């Protein structure tokens, strides 16, 4: 049989009442004896900069299991040490903001990514999104950066609008003809999306032997560079 409540007779514990400072959480100190500490307090009202209904622990807290919190705030941390994989966020629109410099190192201690002051970013090795074009007609979509054209003959590539979602000002695209043989009078034609232009024209034609083109967006149109 079980009950949803319990009665404790403090008179039988030897002291008649709980011991320790006001607001202290009680813990067992000996046989039938409890006490509290200044290091483990529960404030029912605002106190010393803490909001009401706050549990304050001064010292070390060891947890075996899972900690679940709607808000997790860390102060005065010089090092966060964690083994295994960690995950931040669970949806594409999550934002994780950091103020200050950022360094990402590998096990050998080499810096793979450095984001420093003044907007400087250094990358030890940089790999872009690559896609082989093996069809005569291709409509480009994100993710998009390097397009290697492997299709022979006439190839038409429809680019997304320079201001489309996920692109915007500063986005770059590289298109390269990877065919070493002649296209037999055909070419690679880039078509701008919607009202977007490529250097002022709705199309841009790549001619010659294994040509390449780099484009950047200013948020409205594509430009060759």
- The Cα 95–Cα 87 span in angstroms is 13
The answer to whether the predicted template modeling score (pTM) of the entire model surpasses 0.75 is: no
- DSSP label at 51? P
Burial label, 16 (beta-carbon count in 10 A; 0-12, 13-18, 19+) = exposed
- The Cα 93–Cα 152 span in angstroms is 40
With 50 as the cut, is the pLDDT of residue 7 above it? no
Domains belonging to the chain, first-starting first, are: 10-57 (no CATH), 130-224 (2.60.120)
pLDDT in tens, 137-192: 999 998 899 999 999 999 999 999 999 888 999 999 999 999 998 888 999 999 99
- The Cα 219–Cα 132 span in angstroms is 26
With 90 as the cut, is the pLDDT of residue 84 above it? no
């Amino acid at each position: 049989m079980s009950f949803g409540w319990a009665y404790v007779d403090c008179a039988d514990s030897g002291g008649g009442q709980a011991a320790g400072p006001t607001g202290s959480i009680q813990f067992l100190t000996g046989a039938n004896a409890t006490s509290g500490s200044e290091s483990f307090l529960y404030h029912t009202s605002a106190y010393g900069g803490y909001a009401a209904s706050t549990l304050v622990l001064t010292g070390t807290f060891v947890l075996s299991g899972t900690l679940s919190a709607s808000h997790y705030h860390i102060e005065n941390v010089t090092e966060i040490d964690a083994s295994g994989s960690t995950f931040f966020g669970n949806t594409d629109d999550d934002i994780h903001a950091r103020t200050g410099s950022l360094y990402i190192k590998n096990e050998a201690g080499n810096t793979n990514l450095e984001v420093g002051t003044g907007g400087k970013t250094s990358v030890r090795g940089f790999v872009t999104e690559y896609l082989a074009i093996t069809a005569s007609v291709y409509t480009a979509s994100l993710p998009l950066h390097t397009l290697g054209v492997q299709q022979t003959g006439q190839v038409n590539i429809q680019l997304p609008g320079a201001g489309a979602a996920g692109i915007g000002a500063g986005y770059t695209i590289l298109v390269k003809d990877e065919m070493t043989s002649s296209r037999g009078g055909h070419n690679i034609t880039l078509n701008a999306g919607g009202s977007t232009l490529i250097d002022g024209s709705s199309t841009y034609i790549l001619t010659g032997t294994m040509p390449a083109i780099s484009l950047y967006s200013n948020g409205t149109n594509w430009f060759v560079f």
